[in-house]
Structure 1
């Protein structure tokens, strides 16, 4: 599969503390890649480095073009949209206004309207709540808004940071079903997630981050048979 994103020898420091050291991974066109690992492993830092929200050293390339040196807003324009942990919505604005802010760099109005319809088809509750203030929504509905806002940037690579954290089971399943449907449109997804079982059900490949390093990597099928992964992440003896 042709690589969309290439990360090689990536290292990130917070002051004198190293958060990521010599991390390498790839995401293919139209592929879902999950990054698993415990709290503090560096999953969020990795996504921030890819979207250029966090300075880093090493190789970051989208379709062979280096991203190093570009500010975060220009990376969005190149086709990488980041849905951060904690959602980071504008709480006093409506659902629709939050969604449309994701398209702030775009000038293709007809395509923007089509993408908005896609988001509404993906998460129908957002159409019903389009005029509602975001802070009054449930956590799961707010996560749908956050994913929808990122999609409104028309990404070729969508970064999802802990999309299921703190969300009721029913809405979590709707979100993972939505992620599958996003991939069906050709959008590649790099997803950091603590719910290993749900992530591995939809991911093509998986990287396991531990202490800032890639400890294991492989297809979901391969890692689901790995005794360490089964015990540490899937709760299977």
Structure 2
């Protein structure tokens, strides 16, 4: 049984079809990448899984159906969604933003320990923990956004364009952290524009085109596809 099982997922915006017949899976401790051009349906896919958007089809997480489940209960079941654009509370400190990620948890004794784990993953945040989130650099804000999602102690972490707008050094640091998160036992569903970095860390990759899955398979296998190399890698 897959940790996340999506079958024939469909999302509509009025009469417009955003996703049509999308099927994918994420196994326990697996890092799965989703590539595609702007408008391909990548963000819509994550929003449908987290139940921010209504959809039809089958969605199962850890063997339980997600269709009809409200978004806050999806989080409680173990799916945390780090959205595109970070969406921090700029007037709160970095640490207060991180702690907000644990708002559904009742195991108060473990929250401080998990906060220290986030700081070990992103050492820069320990130094910036008392700084207002709105004054952090773009890379530091992205670290807070990912760390906030981790504070929910997810079994599946969904990341939407975590490297967008970041310079090379910071982008590499973010991808190193994502790889470490997977190796620490959290499954990751990663939506990205950076195909090079995604192929470098993903166990498997799905390519979306116009709301449908156009390609899927192990990253190394897709790297041998001429169309993938030409369109996404410029080779």
Q: Same fold (TM over 0.5)?
A: yes
Deviation, structure 1 residue 184? 1.1
Task: Provide, for residues 16-38 of structure 1, a one-character-per-residue CA deviation record: whole Å limited to 9, x for no partner.
Answer: 11100000000000000000000
Aligned to 1:199: 198
Aligned to 1:149: 148
Is 1:58 aligned to 2:70, yes or no? no
Alignment map for 1:221-232 (pairs within 5 Å): 221-232=220-231
- Please give the secondary structure, in 1, of the residue aligned with 2:72: helix
Separation (CA, whole Å) in 2 of partners of 1:114 and 1:176: 23
Alignment map for 1:144-183 (pairs within 5 Å): 144-183=143-182
Aligned to 2:116: 117
Across the two proteins, how many residue pairs are aligned to each other?
235
Task: Provide, for residues 80-137 of structure 1, a one-character-per-residue CA deviation record: whole Å limited to 9, x for no partner.
Answer: 0000000111111100000000000001112211111110000000000000001111
Aligned to 1:234: 233
Separation (CA, whole Å) in 2 of partners of 1:62 and 1:111: 24
- Please give the secondary structure, in 1, of the residue aligned with 2:45: helix
Aligned to 2:75: 76
Structure 1, unmatched stretches of 5+, are none
Separation (CA, whole Å) in 2 of partners of 1:171 and 1:155: 24
Deviation, structure 1 residue 63? 1.3
Aligned to 1:10: 9
Separation (CA, whole Å) in 1 of partners of 2:54 and 2:89: 25
Separation (CA, whole Å) in 2 of partners of 1:111 and 1:217: 38
Structure 2, unmatched stretches of 5+, are none
| Runs of 4+ more than 6 Å apart | none
Select between 197-206 and 104-113 the one with higher mean Cα deviation: 104-113
Separation (CA, whole Å) in 1 of partners of 2:135 and 2:98: 16
Deviation, structure 1 residue 168? 1.1
Separation (CA, whole Å) in 2 of partners of 1:48 and 1:39: 15
Separation (CA, whole Å) in 2 of partners of 1:62 and 1:157: 9
- Please give the secondary structure, in 2, of the residue aligned with 1:167: coil
Task: Provide, for residues 164-184 of structure 1, a one-character-per-residue CA deviation record: whole Å limited to 9, x for no partner.
Answer: 000111111000000011011
Normalised TM-score (structure 2): 0.99
RMSD: 0.6
Normalised TM-score (structure 1): 0.98
Alignment map for 1:127-138 (pairs within 5 Å): 127-138=126-137
Separation (CA, whole Å) in 2 of partners of 1:114 and 1:16: 48
- Please give the secondary structure, in 1, of the residue aligned with 2:177: helix
- Please give the secondary structure, in 2, of the residue aligned with 1:19: strand
